[in-house]
């Protein structure tokens, strides 16, 4: 078991920032463990979600932002739905990803690259173009597409479009991303 010396690494600015960005009161968590009990992803998490809540209460920025769990959370809303103290735990997990991104910390690179390529596709075409997303994902990760056998199945069924569907307002969508970058440096 990993033991953390709380007094050495308590970061109160970080705690305040998580509370501000998520709109949640961290001290409401009384560690009942309900969120972890219902989380379908605990089996791949390095830190269970209730323990992330505890680490947040003690301001453990490094431990939280560098963990794998925040990249593997599917926002399934089980924790948020079941928290007896009405804490929006899934929103906190989202906010932790936002912070980890801003700090350039990524424990699950393939997950991040997939999401980034999805958004690049939306920025370019106005809508998500699935084949293009997978192609650039493979390009960026250098990972041979582990789903290769699915390609022919989906193609045979006419389920994968070969060409992106560019919308008329794609410039408007691109501008949303541009303005976001200007405002927040994203």
Partner 1 sequence: MNLAPKYAYYPGCSGQSTSSEYEVSTRAVCRALGLELAEIPDWSCCGSTPAHTVDHVLSAALAARNLVLAKEAGFDTVVTPCPSCLTNLKTAVHRMEDPDFMDKVNKLLDRPFHGGVQVKSVLQVIFEDIGPARLKAMVKKPLSGLRLAPYYGCIMNRPPDVMQFDDPENPISIDKLMEALGAEVAPFPLKVECCGASFGVARKDVVTQLSGKLLQMAETVEAQAFVTACPLCQMNLDLRQGQVNMAAKTKHNLPVFYYTQLIGVALGLAETDLGLDKLIVSPRGILARIGQKQPAAANQ
Q: Looking at 37, 107, 135, 160, which residue binds partner 1 (CB under 8 A)? A: 160
Comparing CB distances to ligand SF4, the nearer of 39 and 134 is 39
Comparing CB distances to ligand SF4, the nearer of 36 and 121 is 36
Comparing CB distances to partner 1, the nearer of 11 and 128 is 128
Q: Looking at 14, 15, 22, 29, which residue binds ligand SF4 (CB under 6 A)? A: 29
Q: Write out the binding residues for ligand SF4, residues 80-99 only, by CB under 6 A.
A: 83-85, 87, 89-90, 93
CB of 7 to partner 1, least distance (A): 32
CB of 104 to ligand SF4, least distance (A): 22
**Partner in contact with 184, chosen from partner 1, ligand SF4, none, beta carbon below 5 to 8 Å by kind:** partner 1
Euclidean distance between CA atoms 186 and 181, whole angstroms: 5
* 34 binding ligand SF4? (CB under 6 A): yes
CB of 130 to partner 1, least distance (A): 5
* 135 binding partner 1? (CB under 8 A): no
Place of tokens 């830190």: 47
DSSP for the chain?
A: -----HHHH--HHHHHHHHHHHT--GGG-----HHHHH-TTGGG-SS-HHHHHHHHHTT-HHHHHT-SHHHH-----HHHHH-TT---HHHHHHHHHHHHHHTT--S-HHHHHHHHHHHHHHHHHSS--HHHHHHHHHHHH----TTTTHHHHHHHTT-S-SS----TTHHHHHHHHHHHHHHH--
Comparing CB distances to partner 1, the nearer of 13 and 149 is 149
């Amino acid at each position: 078991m990993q033991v953390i010396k709380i007094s050495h690494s308590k970061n109160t600015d970080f705690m305040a920032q998580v509370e501000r960005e998520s709109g949640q009161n961290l001290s409401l968590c009384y560690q009942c463990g309900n969120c972890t009990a219902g989380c379908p992803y605990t089996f791949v998490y390095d830190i269970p979600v209730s323990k992330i809540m505890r680490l947040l209460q003690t301001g453990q920025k490094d431990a939280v932002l560098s963990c794998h769990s925040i990249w593997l959370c599917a926002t399934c809303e089980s924790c948020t739905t079941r928290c007896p103290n009405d804490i929006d735990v899934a929103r906190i997990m989202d906010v932790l990803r936002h912070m980890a991104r801003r700090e350039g910390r990524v424990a699950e690179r393939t997950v991040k690259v997939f999401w980034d390529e999805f958004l690049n596709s939306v920025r370019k075409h106005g809508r998500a173009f699935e084949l293009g997303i997978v192609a650039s994902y493979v390009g960026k990760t250098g990972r041979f597409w582990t789903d290769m056998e699915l390609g022919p199945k989906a193609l045979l069924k006419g389920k994968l479009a070969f060409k992106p569907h560019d919308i008329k307002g794609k410039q408007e969508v691109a501008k949303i991303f541009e303005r976001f970058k200007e405002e927040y440096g994203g």
